[in-house]
């Protein structure tokens, strides 16, 4: 159970972001209304076998990493070299690309948090980091080498298991920082990033940990991209910068992207006592399942219950709602209507970060939580890029006898969706993320005004 009066502060953040050197570069580009999406050479190389060719991807070279490939198995990255010597070689040996990003982002977040070695290695310091999927760049050539080329098992890599296991990101971060508390990884599809942060919040709120390194990762992987392309859910037919267009009536799918977001959470009293720079305070976290048995279709009722769990009957309205906003035809409509159904259509604005960098899957919720912290810091609302025209007619599902939500078209809420960044007093932000299987997560984060 929650411990009365125990609060959770965010004291550090870091990440890996497409086309960006670091967090400050990321912030500058976002608030300059820039898109981080570009044509992906790896997708283009397969011609008409791949429908979509745009992504918010990150290469090894852009993060000063070099893959050392096997002489015996084509394409197998035996190890990654950190050209800036940020991560010891022993830790690199057990990591895939995404795990390296998680370690780099954790180092940045811990540095910002100002935790010393004793605090980091404490029994009350945990690690909770997850991903939607990963290890593909290691597994594909390893299995090809064994099954197709006939090499012996000892040649497929002695670290193939630990570089591709489900909780590799948390494990690698934990081994790097040597914490003695919790080390776990929660997977909940595209709600993974926010879900891991929410779980970390509960660990502190319930008194089980005093500090937690938390977040989500999605390492660049053509396999992941191909899987979604096969589902015909990726955006196509637009220029790279115009491909991600949440709520726009011409949207036709999301942009598959990659990155990492890590935050450091700390019990508020401890953070305050040591004079930490508090980036935000997590006021509440709530998650649920749709419960309708549908793996993919969004649930208005599930999202309505999500809002109810996050805010209850308080009547509170956040200054900004950071939406999931993927650019999928039905997903965006259901989400926008669920927001206005619960909050009304005044006193807040909606920000859709995926419009600027695409959908980072397991990293999405964590990177977008970092974005929310940046909005609190800068006191600016980030835009819904490319939301040029909202549907002036009712959605097809709104005409169904089973629909019990707002009976107004999306175009009625044009004023909630800025197309450019702008300054505004921001004291609180609600963050929303959803995933396959009907999983939903929400966090309310606010400025530290005490």
Please say whether the beta carbons of 16 and 105 come within 8 A. Answer: yes
Please classify residue 150 by burial: count the beta carbons closer than 10 Å to its beta carbon, then call 0-12 exposed, 13-18 middle and 19+ buried.
Answer: exposed
- Which positions ≥6 away from 263 have C-beta within 8 Å? 10, 12, 13, 109, 197, 213, 214, 215, 366, 369, 370, 373
The count of C-alpha atoms lying within 13 angstroms of the C-alpha of 330, restricted to the half-sphere facing its C-beta, is 9
- In angstroms, how far is CA 55 from the centroid of its own chain? 15
Cα-Cα-Cα-Cα dihedral sign, residues 305, 310, 316, 319: negative
Alpha helices, H only, 231-313: 268-273, 300-311
Burial of 37 (0-12, 13-18, 19+ CB in 10 A): buried
User: 186: helix, coil or strand?
Assistant: coil
Residue 81 structure tokens: 């070299």
Residue 12 near residue 111, CB atoms below 8 Å:
yes
Q: CA torsion sign, 363 to 369 to 373 to 376?
A: positive
Q: What residues does 440 pair with on adjacent strands?
A: 288, 434
Residue 433 CA to residue 431 CA, distance in Å, equals 7
Residues annotated as catalytic (active site), given as ranges: 190, 324, 359
CB neighbour list of residue 239: distance below 8 Å, 6 or more residues apart: none
Residue with token string 């550090």: 12
CA distance 349 to 384: 10
| CA separation for the pair 120, 111 (Å, rounded) | 11
Structure tokens at 128: 């909770």
Tokens of 432: 């929303």
């Amino acid at each position: 159970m929650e411990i009365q009066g125990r609060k959770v502060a965010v004291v550090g953040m870091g990440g890996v972001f497409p086309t960006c050197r670091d967090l400050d570069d990321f912030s500058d580009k976002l608030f300059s209304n820039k898109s981080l999406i570009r044509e992906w050479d790896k997708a283009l190389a397969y011609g008409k076998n791949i429908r979509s060719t745009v992504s918010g991807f990150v290469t090894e070279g852009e993060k000063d990493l070099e893959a050392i490939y096997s002489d015996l198995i084509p394409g197998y990255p035996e190890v990654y070299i950190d050209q800036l010597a940020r991560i010891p070689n022993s830790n690199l040996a057990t990591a895939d690309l995404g795990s390296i990003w998680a370690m780099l982002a954790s180092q940045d977040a811990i540095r910002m948090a100002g935790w010393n070695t004793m605090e980091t290695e404490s029994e009350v310091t945990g690690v909770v980091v997850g991903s939607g999927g990963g290890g593909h760049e290691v597994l594909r050539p390893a299995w090809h080498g064994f099954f197709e080329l006939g090499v012996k098992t000892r040649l497929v890599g002695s670290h193939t298991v630990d570089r591709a296991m489900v909780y590799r990101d948390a494990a690698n971060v934990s081994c790097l920082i040597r914490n003695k508390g919790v080390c776990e990884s929660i997977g909940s599809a595209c709600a993974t990033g926010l879900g891991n942060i929410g779980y970390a919040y509960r660990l502190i709120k319930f008194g089980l940990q005093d500090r937690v390194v938390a977040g989500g990762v999605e390492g660049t992987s053509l396999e992941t991209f191909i899987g979604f392309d096969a589902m015909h859910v990726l955006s196509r037919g637009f220029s790279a910068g115009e491909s991600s267009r949440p709520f726009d009536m011409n949207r036709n799918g999301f942009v598959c992207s990659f990155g990492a977001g890590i935050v450091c959470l700390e019990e508020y009293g401890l953070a305050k006592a040591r004079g930490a720079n508090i980036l935000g305070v997590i006021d509440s976290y709530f998650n649920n399942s749709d419960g309708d048995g549908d793996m993919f279709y969004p649930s208005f009722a599930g999202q309505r219950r999500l809002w109810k769990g996050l805010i209850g009957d308080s009547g509170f309205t956040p200054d900004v709602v950071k939406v999931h906003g993927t650019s999928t035809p039905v997903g965006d409509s259901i989400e926008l209507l669920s927001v206005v159904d619960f909050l009304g259509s005044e006193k807040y604005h909606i920000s859709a970060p995926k419009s600027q960098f695409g959908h980072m899957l397991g990293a999405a919720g964590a990177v977008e939580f970092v974005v929310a912290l940046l909005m609190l810091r800068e006191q600016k609302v980030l835009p819904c890029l490319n939301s040029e025209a909202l549907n002036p007619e009712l959605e097809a599902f709104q005409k169904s006898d089973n629909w019990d939500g707002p009976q107004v078209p999306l175009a009625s809420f044009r004023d909630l969706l800025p197309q450019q960044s702008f300054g505004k007093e921001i004291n609180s932000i609600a963050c929303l993320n959803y995933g396959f299987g009907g999983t939903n997560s929400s966090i309310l984060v606010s400025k530290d005004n005490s």
